[in-house]
Structure 1
Amino acid sequence: MNIDEPLVAGFVLPGRGRKRHRQGTESTIVNRLPILKYLPRHFRSHFVAMCGEFIGTFLFLFFAFSGTQVANTQTRPQTSTTIAQASNPAQLLYISLCFGFSLVVNAWVFFRISGGLFNPAVTLGMCLVGALPYIRGVLLAVSQILGAISAAAVVSVLFPGPLDVRTALRIGTSITQGLFIEMFLTAQLVFTIFMLAAEKHKATFIAPVGIGLSLFIAELTGVFYTGGSVNPARSFGPEVVLRTFHHYHWIYWVGPILGSLLASSFYRFMKMLEYETANPGADFDEHEKEHFDPEIHGSRPPTIVNLQPSDQQNLEKYGEARTITGAEADHYDPDGVKASPGNHTAGKGRHRRMSALKGGRKDPGFSPAEASQKEIEGLTDVYDAAPGAELGEASNRGHI
């Protein structure tokens, strides 16, 4: 069933009316609410993203807080309202699993709506690397904080007993230690998001799984010592609902922000070094790797390319190495020979590079008139080894 075309008895929003489509004459892509066509596109997109991030953060933290509340119900002292005193490994594992799996599910659901960030520190990192406009980042951060407060309030009302999900330093953990613990845990989470979600690759669609596992191991480490915040909104929400703040509450803001800065700096550094070249073809299957891996191709014998008159003119004009792409590539067959009109195999010659000897400069003894009659030494058929060259736009790497 197409939900855009409900059944006769289906629910219809007020003012929307039932859509009538003439098959083959009208587009089925229409505004579901007529009022949307009067809103500026950027305003509408910001509003939708804010709604998605608010609901997503609410659901993520609602289930995370609920699991934490359950874990602490039987073990907390009568006056306890924090989770940093828990020392039972089973309890720590339960809390960590609740946070990790809640993030996996909700990030997967809201990824296409708002990006599924749910964390002001992550939002800051995405802005710093250029994956998110700053105005959108501010709007999403506000939505995340409001969603965290709402989640803490609902859990406080629904579950019996005092709200027991606050983050606090364990006795013996100094403020400085807590600050750096939060910084490194957040850096690990943010960098994971950069590499799995911001960097487009074949496994992007399952990025929420890796991100959730990243939060899971961060919680395993941090819950015992700091409460495992790694998210300013996560710590701020319960504090607002309980109307009490620890004097060191600031570390749950400064620590994650520093971690986001650290992860962003390292990511930028890796991009400057062109990390993709260290392991080319990491996302290729066996067939793609065979064609695009420079090491595999390097073992192949060179292919002699017979230049046509038009190619001779180009060689005279440019006198240097160049890449045949676009419309030109359609006129070459896999052997580098210019194809005749109507030859549909010519398109297989894409992404090939012809380079002349002597650093790409013309040989003084080179005669264009004889080019088509003798073997052109040094002109080889080389595959372009750029990662993702044959992948779709959604699979190209490094779109930051």
Structure 2
Amino acid sequence: MNVNAPSDRLINLPFIGKRMPVPGIEHNPDKGHKELRFPGLGFMPNKLRNSFIAMMGEFVGTFLFLFLAFAATQVANTAAAAANVGGQGSGQSTSGGLSQAPNAGTLLYIALAFGFSLAVNAWVFFRITGGLFNPAVTLAMALIGAVNWGRAGLIFIAQILGATSAAAVVSALYPGAMSVSTTLGGNTSIVQGLFIEMFLTAMLVFTILMLAAEKHKGTFIAPVGIGLALFTCELAGVYFTGGSLNPVRSFAPCVVLRIFPGYHWIYWLGPTLGSLLSVGFYRFIKVLEYETANPGQDFNEKEAEAFDFDEETAGTGADVSRPAAQHAQPSAQLLHSAASFNPSPTSDPDSKEFEEQGSQLPKTRTMPADIGRPTSSSAASGPPVPGQIKRPNTITAATNYHKDENAYRNAPMAESGSMPQRAEQGGTYRVSGASTLGDFR
């Protein structure tokens, strides 16, 4: 794996020098001017450019998701048909429908294909568009306000085009008749199929709302949970309805094959009703302040220690939110103990006496604000400057230990000399074996 940061050039070619300045655009660092990576787009308003990016991301993401899923389904159905030639109901459907014979291996293969394809592509496109790939999901996101309606309409168009392109490519590349269309099977009635699609889609959409729309520490791995949700729903739905849960997933093969069953409408109405059902329940638990029922589930050890929960007084989600940064400020006990931490000038910071006296300082707590992403220039400033970290012999210095804990951890050991001599070296030293203020306990 290359550890270098990607180049800001459009194409990185050998024997090409540094990026040349763009004619007509003057770079002025003092004014904070930032050039676009593709200067030709400078005329386009940001809102329009972002909408174009979202459309392209959804088009490509939907295409890749359904291309892999359709291709794997084609493989499963072709293999099943070849292995069961002459078996009743085991061959490929003349209407292009996928094989819905009671073959657990084939059904599992199809469910895995859709679940894994969604998980991978949702993770890849998560930062570009959110990885929706489904009009039912787009509708839910628009209803809760996570996506504006104008963007949702553009995304819907991109999803239809991406799905249709995926079906067309699979039909052209793979030999034999395409058999990936969703049809009713297992003597399932139209009404039964409608409600199966509704409830399965509701499960998928609610998973997306709770793992991706609701921000928490596990949001970055939400695509894994979303892919598993689709996988389990496919297990329950492929045999009876084809397991659509996505209007464009059912629409695209019908367009390519030019065959629309009379009940095709259930693959639009069912997912739409499922989306509305999941949004209704999501809003219901939000109105009831669901956060207060089981708070602190994704707190780390330090946050859980600082979290003070009183169920009688916690009536809103804000009352059980992640501990605020102000809790990390030194208490009166810390200031009092820091004031008493004043060893003699001749004491050796590596000595047992020094460590015993420092152990009287109370343990400090690290809050989320203290461990967030670096936002200051200190994150890239390199090793600590001599004099930056000093011996905690005053209240101010002891307090700064908490704030400059990372710099203290990286400070080199003083080579030799007593306390005054080490102070003359700039005071940039640390106690042997200690990496944080908590190691003085």
TM-score using structure 1 length: 0.72
**Match of 1:50?**
55
1:7–1:252 Cα change, 3 Å: closer
Amino acid at match of 2:306: H
Amino acid at match of 2:37: R
Q: Is the 8 A contact 1:96 1:216 kept in 2?
A: yes
Q: Is the 8 A contact 1:84 1:223 kept in 2?
A: no
**Match of 1:201?**
216
> How far apart are the structure 2 equivalents of 1:331 and 1:258?
47
Structure 1's unaligned 5+ residue stretches are 299-324, 344-386, 394-400
> How far apart are the structure 2 equivalents of 1:132 and 1:141?
12
> How far apart are the structure 2 equivalents of 1:212 and 1:101?
6
Q: Does 1:67 align with 2:51?
A: no
Q: Give me the identity figure in percent.
A: 57
1:120–1:10 Cα change, 3 Å: farther
The match for 1:180 among 182, 195, 199 is 195
> How far apart are the structure 2 equivalents of 1:268 and 1:151?
34
1:219-238, Cα deviation, whole Å (9 max, x unpaired)? 00100000000000100000
Q: Does 1:269 align with 2:284?
A: yes
Give the deviation of 1:26 after TM superposition.
Answer: 9.0
Give the deviation of 1:332 after TM superposition.
Answer: 7.2
Report the 3-state secondary structure (helix = DSSP H, G, I; strand = E; otherwise coil) of the residue aligned with 1:75: helix
Q: Does 1:87 align with 2:102?
A: yes
Give the deviation of 1:331 after TM superposition.
Answer: 12
Q: Does 1:39 align with 2:36?
A: no
1:19–1:52 Cα change, 3 Å: farther
> How far apart are the structure 2 equivalents of 1:26 and 1:236?
51
1:41-61, Cα deviation, whole Å (9 max, x unpaired)? 111110000000000000000
Amino acid at match of 1:3: S
Q: Does 1:190 align with 2:195?
A: no
Give the deviation of 1:75 after TM superposition.
Answer: 2.3
Q: Is the 8 A contact 2:77 2:92 kept in 1?
A: no
1:110–1:10 Cα change, 3 Å: farther
**Match of 1:334?**
331
1:182–1:84 Cα change, 3 Å: farther
> How far apart are the structure 2 equivalents of 1:259 and 1:149?
23
1:27–1:66 Cα change, 3 Å: farther
- The runs of 4+ residues in structure 1 deviating greater than 3 Å are 5-8, 17-29, 329-333, 387-393
Q: Is the 8 A contact 1:179 1:251 kept in 2?
A: yes
Amino acid at match of 1:243: R
Q: How does 1:1-400 map to 2 (within 5 A)?
A: 1=4, 2-5=6-9, 7=12, 9=14, 18=20, 29-76=34-81, 77=91, 79-80=93-94, 81-83=96-98, 85-294=100-309, 333-335=330-332
1:335–1:294 Cα change, 3 Å: farther
Report the 3-state secondary structure (helix = DSSP H, G, I; strand = E; otherwise coil) of the residue aligned with 1:249: coil
> How far apart are the structure 2 equivalents of 1:271 and 1:243?
44
Give the deviation of 1:245 after TM superposition.
Answer: 0.1
1:51-96, Cα deviation, whole Å (9 max, x unpaired)? 0000000000000000000000032325542125232101011001
> How far apart are the structure 1 equivalents of 2:286 and 2:275?
16
Q: Is the 8 A contact 2:306 2:327 kept in 1?
A: no
Q: Is the 8 A contact 1:84 1:226 kept in 2?
A: no
Amino acid at match of 2:144: V
Q: Is the 8 A contact 2:197 2:267 kept in 1?
A: yes
Amino acid at match of 1:334: S
Which structure has the larger Rg over C-alpha atoms?
2
1:240-277, Cα deviation, whole Å (9 max, x unpaired)? 00011000000000000000000000000010011111
1:8–1:74 Cα change, 3 Å: closer
Give the deviation of 1:35 after TM superposition.
Answer: 2.1
Structure 2's unaligned 5+ residue stretches are 82-90, 314-322, 340-366, 374-441
Structure with greater contact order relative to length (CA < 8 Å, sep ≥ 6): 1
Q: Is the 8 A contact 2:66 2:163 kept in 1?
A: yes
**Match of 1:361?**
none
CA RMSD of aligned residues (A): 3.4
Give the deviation of 1:124 after TM superposition.
Answer: 0.1
